[in-house]
Structure 1
Amino acid sequence: MKGLLLAIQFLTRLPTPRVTASETDFAASIRWFPMVGLLIGALVAGAGWLARSDAWLGALAALAVWTGVTGALHLDGLADLADARGAAHGDRARLLAVLADPHVGSFGVVALALQIVAKLVLLHALVAAGMWGPLVLIPFAARIGPLAWTRWLPPLHAGLASRFRAAVRGVDILVWAAVLAGAGFVWPAILVTPVLLAGWAVYLRRAVGGVSGDGHGAGIELVETALLVAALL
């Protein structure tokens, strides 16, 4: 239970009891990321459902909760990675330097705008169609990503991703893969998730050379958007 509380504290802005934890405890909390995704998904779907009388209002409510409950944590990673890739021009040292820069540049701003607009439009379509199940499951599926990427990719530097690396066990991925497979009976399109996760891992290895906290955050955002598209196809 401590791991779940730590995961909720890290991935969301939801109030939780204070927990005393070691570095090892914090790293092990990654095993609970998909469960936190289910919680986020339930809140997002609930917001959309409550405001469903108007599809755009429902979409805006769902997006506001999605962004607010996560504190825009993953959007920050998307912006940082977009800035780094846009400014690097093939220079790895510059890429790493821009990733470490807390400021947001023009590439990051454009990436954020496109991501927010894309989610709003896709949420509108799902709210209009009354597709609440996918809204619950999408944040869950996307948060399996950090477990897989941590196992598959080398850490880009000594930071968040490197701390998680030793904590992810093969059995953790197998358990969540089994849950994902079970979710496929409710919403078959969710079974495209492993392809999306693998695709992002290949991209990070070729374009960046490894994974960092920003790579995890950007991947979660992009996988969520891709799954919103899959829900409509």
Structure 2
Amino acid sequence: MRGLVLALQFLTRLPLPAVRAEPEDFARSMRWFPAAGVAVGGAVAGAWWLGDLLGDRWLAALFALAAWIAITGGLHLDGLGDVADGAGAAHKDRARLSAVMADPHVGSFAVVAIVLHVLAKLVLLHALVPSQIWGLLLAPPLARIAPLFWTLALPPLHEGLASRFRSTVSWVHSAGWSIVAAAASLFAAPPLLAVFLIVPAWAYWLKRKIGGISGDGHGAGIEVTETLLLLALVVGR
């Protein structure tokens, strides 16, 4: 269970006991990313249910969004901002891409991307109905299956933890979680099957625009996938 604890520590802000681990253990924890997503989904769905119980759909949306950001610590929003800044820089000068994405300062592209993304999540959460709460529970874990595919399908942009993921996961792990995702979606929320279109589409965009995958690409992709899955729930209900 060390891998699950490490995945929860990496992807969430849940209070967990310290675990002694080597860098390879952190890399192997990627296999547990989807399971860690269940904790995120549970917090988000629970917060939405509480707000809806109080009788206000906007309150439900606000509670869910706050829980989403709080349990992840805004980790993936940071990646979204870095990718937005990097993509903006690459449009003018591809050589500046790595420097811009590594810069801790937030650029205008990042601000716009994060604000629009958070607003989109808020509006889509408001558009959900109580019968879709199982879909809301599933969206975060489904989005966290995606990094297993991206790390295998895309070249790493640079050396780091994200590049080490590649040696610790296989297509067997990706396929296994994908089967679980398909079964859960078919049973609880068929519109979430859109994940099988969203994930390769993000890989294609990253390869064409950025050139490969990094930790920021994973984080941004998780955010984009989550939001598009919410859109699928709203459109497909």
TM-score calculated relative to the size of structure 1: 0.97
Instruction: Report the number of matched residues.
Output: 232
Q: How does 1:188-203 map to 2 (within 5 A)?
A: 188-203=190-205
Sequence identity of aligned pairs in percent? 58
Match of 1:166 in 2: 167
- 1: distance between equivalents of 2:103 and 2:161? 16
User: Can you give the 5+ residue segments of structure 1 that lack an aligned partner in the other structure?
Assistant: none
Match of 1:223 in 2: 225
| Partner deviation per Cα, 1:175-202 (whole Å, 9 max, x = no partner) | 1011011112221111111111000001
- 2: distance between equivalents of 1:78 and 1:39? 21
- 1: distance between equivalents of 2:234 and 2:18? 40
Deviation (angstroms), 1:90: 4.2
Deviation (angstroms), 1:59: 0.5
Structure 2 residue 212 is the aligned partner of structure 1 residue 210 = yes
Deviation (angstroms), 1:10: 0.2
Structure 2 residue 78 is the aligned partner of structure 1 residue 66 = no
- 2: distance between equivalents of 1:69 and 1:130? 24
The 10-residue stretch of structure 1 (101-110 or 89-98) with the greater mean CA deviation from structure 2: 89-98
Instruction: Give the root-mean-square deviation of aligned CA atoms.
Output: 1.0
Query: Structure 1 counterpart of 2:13, which letter?
Result: R
Match of 2:22 in 1: 22
The 10-residue stretch of structure 1 (84-93 or 207-216) with the greater mean CA deviation from structure 2: 84-93
Deviation (angstroms), 1:33: 0.4
Match of 1:135 in 2: 136
| Partner deviation per Cα, 1:137-190 (whole Å, 9 max, x = no partner) | 000110011100000001000112101110111221121011011112221111
Deviation (angstroms), 1:131: 1.8
- 1: distance between equivalents of 2:146 and 2:224? 11
Structure 2 residue 190 is the aligned partner of structure 1 residue 156 = no
Match of 1:178 in 2: 179
Q: How does 1:18-57 map to 2 (within 5 A)?
A: 18-52=18-52, 53-57=55-59
Query: Structure 2 counterpart of 1:208, which letter?
Result: I
Match of 2:10 in 1: 10
Specify whether residues 130 and 56 from structure 1 end up closer, same or farther in structure 2 by C-alpha distance, changes over 3 A only: farther
Deviation (angstroms), 1:96: 1.1
Query: Structure 2 counterpart of 1:5, which letter?
Result: V
Deviation (angstroms), 1:130: 4.2
User: Can you give the 5+ residue segments of structure 2 that lack an aligned partner in the other structure?
Assistant: none
